Chain A
Amino acid sequence: MDKIINVLSTEQLSIGYKSRSKITEVAHNINISLQDASLYSVIGVNGSGKSTFLKTIAGLIPTLSGDVFCYENNIKNMSARDLSSLVSCVFTGFPDLGLMRVFDVISLGRYLYTGFTGRLSVDDQDVVNGIISILDIEDLSDKYFFQLSDGQKQKVMIGRALAQQSKIILLDEPTAFLDFQNRVAIDLLLRQLVDNLGLTVVVSTHDINNALKISDKVLLFSSDLRVQTLNPKKEEGLSLIERTFANQNIIFNRSDTSFSIKL
């Protein structure tokens, strides 16, 4: 059997926001370890700290206490450059990229690898073209980013993250504002990245039904500041998820692991 590799782990991690006068803790005592080639869905109600968690493990905001380790290195001691070769991100919403074309947007992910002029080498171009064919967006390559539909834009932003060629990719609600078809397309794409490219994908979402279907593990952020790693294929994991999200309006169907409206 293959040795299990921990690509990212946390120890006694406490996350939140610090302002001059007060500290707002959104989750604490987080002890998780994420394995190679797995898909993790981060679920929890609004304000339970999903985005804060992703930004913290991406090294964008400091921890309140505790540590994050990426391939055994404490991210506190890593430069943005070092960390970006291991972790790439897709944030919620789209930046205003003006007249940038799809190929150029994905090329921005090569920042790490290009020299100070930013000119793409032949290798860099091959990487970008390879990603464009994985995403199946060859026909969009020359289009301006602003001309794309939201579903296409999200693919391009994922492509930009892939261009960093990092083993871990973090996505903050990538399907939040997409229509039903595009949600499924993005979810399947994420599964494909794990199965075919061996990446570790951590994705926050409110689409719990899909999350339970595509994920290897679920990170459940509760309103009592706790974070638990659950297996969506196991009975005890499912009952905890049911207790968290089901209420008088929502019923959970065990047989196909999905929530639906109670009428």
Chain B
Amino acid sequence: MKDSRRNLVLFIFLVSFCFSLFILRIFLGSVWLSPRGIFDFFSNNGSPAAFIFKVRIGRAIMALFAGAGLSVAGLLLQVYFRNPLAGPFVLGINSGASLGAALAIMVFSGIGGSFSGGIFLYHSGVLLFSCLGAFLMVVIVSIVSARVTSNTGLLIFGVLVGYFINAAISIFSYFSVPEKIKIYFLWAEGSFNPPNQGWMMNLFVAFVLFFIFFALFISKNLNIMKLGDNYAQSSGVNLVLAKVSIIIPAGFLSGIVTSFCGPIAFVGLFVPHVARMAFHTEDHRVLVPGVVVLGGIMALLADLVAQLPGLSYVLPVNPILTLVSAPFVLFLILKNGRTNG
């Protein structure tokens, strides 16, 4: 009971911290935004400050929900594969999304550089294909994981898939035109830039929220799945239903976030571990809300650092996330190597 009081205080603190970062993200950036901009935005007077506010708030929302969505996806994948190293990025699910995006941008978007069907159809094509690519990869990894049982084996599979897909994309780009290649690499760099259409961002937020609630809804099953398939089934779990209800939201969350933001490194792997350490628990009724807030914090922080406040450069977010997370993954591998042989 002492645990739950401590965790509640921690959770409230983290929510406030997340909220402060969100506000900070709106005002800080390569250009300082005066609070005047907010009034301009709400009075619809079309000043530059109002425009900056609109872009910044969009970016902050995208970062918040992308971070939260990827972290929940990572948590679900770690339960599903019973593997502490699982996450959308390391399992190659992001690579699946990249392949989908590359196909949509470089192969299917009409010959000769012009996008048939207009910008809207093109955007939805990228979203659809990268989401499909991610989902296909989830299916493939599920099949492979039945045969590859070691933690690091699955990781190596993810790396190999990454190489394979990168090779395929290099070949596509060899036959493509510079404009398309540039568009693809802008997507593949990963960013929290909001989509051009406002309703698309609403759709993104709605989807991510839906699957976060879904994950919360199945948290009793997530807890018992920790015991493994045999124990879960003999405790009364309908195993097929339970597994499908874990992998579907995991696939959707990683697919949706990656299609909108590009491949975002390591958040899904890293944040669930931070949450377990911070809340000292394996109870998913605590961990799901925990990773939502911590994932939002991590993405907002990375995006803030990427803006290099005060300087006119804007860095991509992925290198920043990788610099923080990759040493941690190495630490996990070393720790696992000691205990699991």
Q: Which residues of A contact B (CB under 8 A)?
A: 55, 58-60, 79-81, 83-85, 87-89, 91, 95-100, 104, 108-109, 111-112, 114, 116-118, 164
Instruction: Give the number of A-B contacts (CB < 8 Å).
Output: 75
| Chain A neighbourhood of B20, CB < 8 A | none
10 tightest Cβ-Cβ pairs between the two chains A and B: A84-B236, A118-B220, A89-B234, A81-B236, A112-B236, A111-B235, A100-B282, A98-B282, A95-B228, A95-B227
Residues of B in contact, count (CB < 8 Å): 24
| Chain A neighbourhood of B210, CB < 8 A | none
Q: If the complex has contacts A81-B238, A95-B231, are A108 and B285 also in contact, measured as CB distance less than 8 A? A: no
- Closest B residue to A146 by CB, please name it: B339
Q: If the complex has contacts A80-B237, A111-B235, A111-B236, are A98 and B230 also in contact, measured as CB distance less than 8 A? A: no
Check A99–B285 contact: CB distance below 8 A: no
Q: If the complex has contacts A81-B236, A117-B285, are A97 and B230 also in contact, measured as CB distance less than 8 A? A: no
| Chain B neighbourhood of A81, CB < 8 A | 236, 238
B90–chain A nearest beta-carbon distance, Å: 18
| Chain B neighbourhood of A109, CB < 8 A | 235
A141–chain B nearest beta-carbon distance, Å: 13
B residues 218-246 near A (Cβ < 8 Å) are: 219-220, 223-224, 226-228, 230-231, 233-239
26 residue pairs from A and B, CB less than 8 Å apart: A59-B234, A60-B230, A80-B233, A80-B234, A80-B239, A81-B238, A89-B234, A91-B228, A95-B226, A95-B228, A95-B231, A97-B282, A98-B276, A99-B282, A100-B226, A100-B282, A104-B282, A104-B283, A108-B235, A109-B235, A111-B224, A111-B235, A111-B237, A114-B220, A118-B223, A164-B235
- Closest A residue to B279 by CB, please name it: A99
Check B220–A91 contact: CB distance below 8 A: no
Q: If the complex has contacts A111-B220, A118-B219, are A97 and B226 also in contact, measured as CB distance less than 8 A? A: yes
Q: If the complex has contacts A99-B282, A118-B219, are A108 and B227 also in contact, measured as CB distance less than 8 A? A: yes
A166–chain B nearest beta-carbon distance, Å: 9
- Within the assembled complex, what's the spacing in Å between the Cα atoms of A252 and B285? 55
| Chain B neighbourhood of A114, CB < 8 A | 220
Q: Which residues of B contact A (CB under 8 A)?
A: 82, 217, 219-220, 223-224, 226-228, 230-231, 233-239, 276, 280-283, 285
Check A84–B231 contact: CB distance below 8 A: no
A167–chain B nearest beta-carbon distance, Å: 14
- Closest A residue to B284 by CB, please name it: A118
Check A84–B285 contact: CB distance below 8 A: no
Check A89–B224 contact: CB distance below 8 A: no
- Within the assembled complex, what's the spacing in Å between the Cα atoms of A100 and B82? 15
- Within the assembled complex, what's the spacing in Å between the Cα atoms of A144 and B228? 18
- Closest A residue to B218 by CB, please name it: A116
- Within the assembled complex, what's the spacing in Å between the Cα atoms of A59 and B226? 20
| Chain A neighbourhood of B231, CB < 8 A | 89, 91, 95
Check A117–B230 contact: CB distance below 8 A: no
- Within the assembled complex, what's the spacing in Å between the Cα atoms of A117 and B284? 10
| Chain A neighbourhood of B239, CB < 8 A | 80
With beta carbons under 8 angstroms apart, the residue of B224, B233, B276 that contacts A108 is: B224
Check A60–B233 contact: CB distance below 8 A: yes
Q: Which of B219, B228, B238, B276 has the most CB of A within 10 A?
A: B228
A186–chain B nearest beta-carbon distance, Å: 18
With beta carbons under 8 angstroms apart, the residue of B217, B227, B236, B238 that contacts A97 is: B227
- Closest A residue to B233 by CB, please name it: A80
- Within the assembled complex, what's the spacing in Å between the Cα atoms of A65 and B236? 24
Q: If the complex has contacts A60-B230, A89-B231, are A96 and B236 also in contact, measured as CB distance less than 8 A? A: no
- Closest A residue to B241 by CB, please name it: A80
Q: Which of A95, A114, A116 has the most CB of B within 10 A?
A: A95
Q: Which of A55, A87, A99 has the most CB of B within 10 A?
A: A99
Sample of 20 more A-B contacts, CB < 8 Å, known A80-B234, A95-B226, A118-B220: A59-B233, A60-B234, A80-B238, A81-B238, A83-B234, A84-B233, A85-B236, A88-B234, A89-B231, A91-B228, A91-B230, A95-B231, A97-B227, A99-B281, A100-B226, A100-B282, A104-B282, A104-B283, A111-B235, A117-B220
